[in-house]
């Protein structure tokens, strides 16, 4: 089976995008695991199906699978990648967390800069304890657990993996570690549900910034410094606005399925 794809990344959070009419109709989680494998597949943090047909209040829709085959509600970086692929200066994209509006701010060749309304962030628990650590529980359309830290000189990956699967999160959670830099800047590390360590995360940055503002660690607008570079958040009455990049990387065809003795 041949599956066409376009590879894009949003701040080094990479995705393989396939138009829904070119995608199989079954075994999608299994295919996601295979195509996202960085050794035997193409390699990515997630695989996304893009439907160009619009509907009431939206211009296109997307369905995202993590590299472990799970299906998250939303990816901010991934949704920007879909907007870049679709090529409209303004677009409303239906996601698992509702319709998101994106506006193109700049483009140079394969590089795009979008502002995206991520929707309203909800602080579910301002002072929580998870795995014995201070935490803020946030809902940004998907579950987030933000942990304030003084530095990253500890095994935060192991902590992130434990927090992701803590019993208080039956559907697992995304995890971010937040270090305050100045009144409008935080630095984070990211452990994403279903993908593990990632270089950046749109929803993770939104949750981290919302937690930092709620805790008084920062004020809007907030620059979130990720290992891949900065993402910028501002919080308005109608939602959190995330500004970040998307870049086209490659087009190709993935050959799915194993050869049999008769082939």
Domains and CATH numbers, the chain: 2-117+246-255 (3.10.310.10), 122-237 (3.10.310.10)
- CA 19 vs CA 72, 177, 186, 253: distances in Å: 18, 34, 36, 12
pLDDT band, residue 262 (cuts 50/70/90): very low
- CA 40 vs CA 13, 33, 35, 229: distances in Å: 19, 10, 8, 28
What is the four-CA torsion angle of 207, 210, 211, 215, rounded to 10 degrees?
180
Number of residues that this document lists for the chain? 263
Determine if residue 185 is left, alpha or beta; phi over 0 gives left, psi from -120 to 50 gives alpha, anything else beta: beta
Q: What is the pLDDT of residues 30-85, one digit of tens each?
A: 999 999 999 999 999 999 999 999 999 999 999 999 999 999 999 999 999 999 99
State the average pLDDT over residues 191-204: 96
Residue 126 pLDDT exceeds 60: yes
């Amino acid at each position: 089976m041949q599956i066409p794809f376009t590879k894009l990344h949003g701040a080094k959070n990479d995705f393989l995008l396939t138009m829904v009419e070119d995608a199989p109709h079954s075994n999608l989680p299994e295919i996601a695991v295979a195509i996202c494998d960085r050794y035997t597949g193409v390699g990515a943090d997630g695989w996304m199906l893009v439907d160009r047909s619009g509907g009431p209040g939206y211009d296109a829709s997307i369905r995202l699978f993590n590299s472990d085959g799970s299906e998250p509600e939303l990816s901010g970086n991934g949704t920007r990648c879909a907007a870049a692929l679709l090529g409209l200066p303004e677009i409303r994209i239906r996601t698992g967390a509702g319709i998101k509006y994106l506006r193109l701010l700049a483009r140079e060749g394969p590089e795009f800069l979008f502002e995206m309304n991520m929707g309203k962030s909800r602080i579910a628990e301002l002072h929580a304890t998870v795995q014995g650590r201070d935490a803020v529980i946030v809902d940004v359309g998907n579950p987030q657990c933000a942990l304030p830290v003084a530095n990253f000189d500890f095994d935060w990956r192991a902590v992130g993996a434990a927090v992701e699967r803590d019993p208080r999160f039956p559907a697992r959670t995304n995890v971010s570690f937040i270090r305050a830099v100045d009144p409008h800047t935080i630095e984070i590390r990211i452990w994403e549900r279903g993908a593990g360590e990632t270089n950046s995360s749109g929803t993770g940055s939104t949750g981290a910034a919302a937690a930092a503002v709620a805790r008084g660690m920062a004020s809007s607008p907030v620059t979130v410094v990720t290992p891949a570079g900065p993402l910028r958040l501002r919080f308005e009455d109608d939602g959190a606005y995330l500004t970040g990049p998307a870049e086209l990387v490659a087009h190709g065809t993935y050959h799915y399925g194993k050869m049999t003795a008769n082939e």
